């Protein structure tokens, strides 16, 4: 089972379990279920309000992630991804630290989410 720790300087850190194996639950849905106040608006990868920084905290190699085209467009617009980052992501299939919580599917790994 994955441990997801939400961290924000204005709130006490909150660690929750994500259901492993479903591969359908977004980070934003998990935050809402546990009353973690991650900002959001559209919930559809368009507004960028739910941008978070995600880092792996277990000792396993990071899992590859597929960023949707919407997510890449919004993260680029927000200045969180450069053209070089996008090229690197396409080649290495390695996750960007910056994600949209409404687009990121929670995987079976322990992560720190700064919001
Ligand atoms: Fe709008 Fe995630 S809530 S992009």
Q: What is the DSSP letter of 16?
A: E
Token pair belonging to 3? 């441990």
Is the CB of residue 41 below 6 angstroms from any atom belonging to ligand 1?
yes
pLDDT tens string, the chain, 115 residues long: the values are 789 999 999 999 999 888 766 667 899 999 999 999 999 999 999 999 999 999 988 777 666 667 888 999 999 999 999 989 888 877 876 767 899 999 998 888 899 999 9
Pocket test for ligand 1, best of 29, 31, 36, 44 (most atoms within 8 A of CB): 44
Q: Distance between CA 110 and CA 5 in Å, rounded?
A: 8
Q: Distance between CA 81 and CA 88 in Å, rounded?
A: 11
The fold adopted by the segment(s) 2-114 is Ubiquitin-like (UB roll) (3.10.20)
Q: Give the number of the atom of ligand 1 that is nearest the alpha carbon of residue 102.
A: 2
For ligand 1, atom 4, name the residue with the nearest CA.
45
Token pair belonging to 74? 């919004």
What ipTM was estimated for this complex? 0.99
| Domain ranges for the chain | 2-114
């Amino acid at each position: 089972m994955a441990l997801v720790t939400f961290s924000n300087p204005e709130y006490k850190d909150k660690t929750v379990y994500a259901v492993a194996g479903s591969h359908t639950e977004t980070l934003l849905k998990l935050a809402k279920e546990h009353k973690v106040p991650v900002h959001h608006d559209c919930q559809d990868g368009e507004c960028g309000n739910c941008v978070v920084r995600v880092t792996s905290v277990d000792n396993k190699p990071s899992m590859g992630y597929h960023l949707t085209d919407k997510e890449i467009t919004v993260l680029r617009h927000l200045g969180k991804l450069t053209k070089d980052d996008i090229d690197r992501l396409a080649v290495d299939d390695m996750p960007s630290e910056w994600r949209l919580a409404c687009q990121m599917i929670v995987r079976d790994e322990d992560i720190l989410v700064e919001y």
